Structure 1
Amino acid sequence: MISFQGFFGAPQDVARQLFALPRSVVSGSYYALLLESDAGADVRVFVRADPADDHGEVRDWTGSKLGDLPERILRACWSTSANEREVAKVIDSFGPYAVRGGIMCPPSARGAFGHQLRRHDPQPVVRALVVS
Structure 2
Amino acid sequence: MVVTHHRRPQPRSGRRFPSRRRLVGGTGTALLVVALAGCSGLGRTAVGPMDYETERSVHVKVNSPVVTGCHRLGPNGAVSVENGTLVDVLMYPSADCSGASIYVATMTSDVIAPGTGPWRSYSFVH
State the TM-score, normalizing by the size of structure 2.
Answer: 0.29
Larger RCO (CA under 8 A, 6+ residues apart): 1
The structure with the largest strand share of the pair is 1
Q: Which has the larger Rg?
A: 2
The structure with the largest helix share of the pair is 1
